[in-house]
Structures are given as C-alpha cells and as structure tokens.
A = this chain, B = another copy of it.
Amino acid sequence: MTETAPRPTLEAVAARAGVSRATASRVVNGGDGVREPLVERVRRAVDELGYVPNQAARSLVTKRHDAVAVVVAEPETRVFADPFFALQLRGISKELTAHDNQLVLLLTEGRDDHARVGRYLAGGHVDGALVFSLHLDDPLPGLIRRAGIPTVFGGRPGWSDGDGGDVVYVDSDNRGGARDAVRHLVALGRTRVAHITGPLDQTSAADRLDGYRDVMADADPRLVVPGDFTPAGGERAMRELLDHRPDVDAVFAANDLTAAGALRVLREHGRRVPEDVAVIGFDDMLPVAEQTDPPLTTVRQDIEEMGRLMARLLLRGPDGPHPGEQAPRSGVVLPTTLVRRASA
C-alpha cells in the first residue's frame, strides 16, 4: 500500500487564508461566530487546497468518531443466504449516511472473534454499536454490554436483562403477524391449521409460534412441527405433517423459505394449493415469495425500515440530533402486514 501525497493541514489553510488555526477550525466546523468575510476566505482556501480534516486528529481531542459498528454474529451461513440482513444493512447505511456517520462492519465467526469484537468495541473506535444477535445463548450481548458503549439490538434479545430491561432493540411484530396469518387461514374456513416453526432459540421463531398458539390454543400438538427456516427443513416438516395428520388443510410456515419447501412437498404429494392445503409464509422475501408456485401469501415486515430505525435510535442519544428527546429504554416493535397472493 503506497503512501499517498501529504495532504494539506488546517495550518496550511489558516496560512493561506491569513487567519489563525483556531479560526480556520471554527469555519471548518460550521463557522459560527466568525465574521462573514473571514468565513469566505477560509472556505476558499479549503477549496483551493482540497483540504479534508484529519479524522484521527479530530477524534483524538473530541473523543467522538462519527462511526458506528454493526456487529453480526454469523454462526451459520444462513444469515447471509437470505436478503434479510442485507436489507437491514441498507436501511442502517442510509440513516448513518444522513448523519455523516461511517459504518464499520464486524462479522464474527466464532469464539475468537468474540474476543476481538469485544476488544474493538471497548477500544473506543466507534460511538455505538448495532448488534444482530440471533441466539439465546449468544455470548456477544454480554461482551458488548461490558464494553459499555451505546447499543441497539436488531430483534428482541433472547435473554432478559438482570437489572430490568434497559435494552434497546428494534423488532417486528412477529407474534401479531403470526396471529394475522393464522386468523386469515381460519377465516378461509380451514380447521386443521398446522405450523412449521423456526429454530425456537431465536425469539422471532418463538414469537411466531406464540402467535399461532394465540389463535389455535387447543390444536392437536401434532399440528406443530419443528423447522429451521430453511427449505429443506420445510420439506422435512411437511412430510412429517402429511404423515401424522394427512387431513391437514392449512399450513402457516415460520418463514418464506420454509413455506417454499412445504409447497414442494405438497405438490409432490398431489395436494393442490390452496384448494386442498392453504399455505402462508412470513417475511415477504420477494425473490422467494413471488417465485414460488403458486406465489406465496405471506406476512410482510419492513426490513429496511427496521435498519433505519436502529440507526436512528442509536444516534439519538444525549449528543444526538435531538438532545431533549430520549431514546426509548426498551424495545420498539414495527407492525407487519399480510400480503395476499395465491397460496392462501
């Protein structure tokens, strides 16, 4: 990596504009309290020299970094196999950019990485962290709390906080969305509504199951079969379902991928969808939901907005754009909507 040409310093700008470094600094940082003609001269000098502030020097004294870490625990490849995370990332990026913050991405792959991430966060490189922690037993949240930097979680964390829930997170209404889906199936006249769950150590999956149970309180336990958010898991579960309860007339799958798998098995067994079995997914992952046969009725969540909101909450601290307005001390839950297509 070759060394680049030395860039002009504030000193150079000040000299060229015929002012002190302090005044030049003031102009660069907004120009409040500097008389117009001077502002003008400094601005010109900045342009002519192509001056860009040295962030390291600035951080050294301000102790701010205008950077936010996005931490993604990634025990499984799955996290990346669907566009879910990418969409959140995009929302986050947009919001951070709007506030002139940089996005530092921290991907973790195991124990060693956890230590590394903990060190990084504790090391004061960033002003805050956005964390995607998927599992109940994830050590990451603990590490991060110990690092003592402002944090917003993506999805409701699985652990309960010892001292009473001042954990900030953004989640979508998994339980409510599941309820809507199942109610829709019931309204369609289905009476033997099954549920293929997600991995229940993730709160999103657990919440969806709860939503199902809210409506189908006393359903046959055999109508609930475990899945894992993958198409293969959906196939397996659907076979089991067909085995134990061949009379099943509706399936609420924990996500679209699972539903896609179920759909395939149903076709394989000659069941018509939705005539014989109605199917509903969750996520409204377009590339999946629109491409299944038939297209999938599903529960939509605004994933990009979740990302934006996370960033907004993080930035909205005492030093944030709205000093008065306190960040919430716990979770924010975004609504979901049922999207009707052909499968139910």
Contacts and interface: CB of A to CB of B under 8 A. Distances in A.
A319 B119 CA distance: 25
> Could you say which interface size class chain A belongs to?
35 or more
A122 B150 CA distance: 29
Given A52-B122, A80-B90, 13 more contacts: A7-B124, A52-B119, A56-B56, A56-B59, A56-B60, A67-B104, A80-B89, A81-B86, A85-B86, A89-B107, A102-B120, A103-B104, A264-B291
Interface stretch (A22-30, A180-188, A213-221, A310-318): A310-318
Contact of A150 (B1, B60, B105, B113): B1
Which of A56, A123, A231, A314 counts the most B-chain CB atoms under 10 A from its CB?
A56
A111 B240 CA distance: 53
Interface string A272-288: 00000000000000110
13 contacts: A1-B150, A4-B124, A7-B124, A52-B123, A52-B124, A54-B124, A55-B125, A80-B90, A82-B287, A89-B107, A97-B116, A102-B106, A102-B125
Nearest to A100: B116
A324 to B, nearest CB: 15
B149 A319 contact: no
Contacts of A86: 80-81, 85-86
A4 B52 contact: no
A57 to B, nearest CB: 5
A127 interface: yes
A139 interface: no
Nearest to A6: B63
A97 B7 CA distance: 28
B107 A105 contact: no
Contact of A4 (B94, B103, B148): B148
A3 interface: yes
B1 A127 contact: yes
Interface string A1-27: 111110100000000000000000000
Which of A65, A67, A97 counts the most B-chain CB atoms under 10 A from its CB?
A97
Contact of A128 (B1, B50, B124): B1
Q: Please provide the 3 A-B residue pairs with the shortest distance between their CB atoms, ordered closest to farther.
A: A1-B317, A56-B59, A52-B123
Contact of A97 (B54, B113, B119, B257): B113
A107 B90 contact: yes
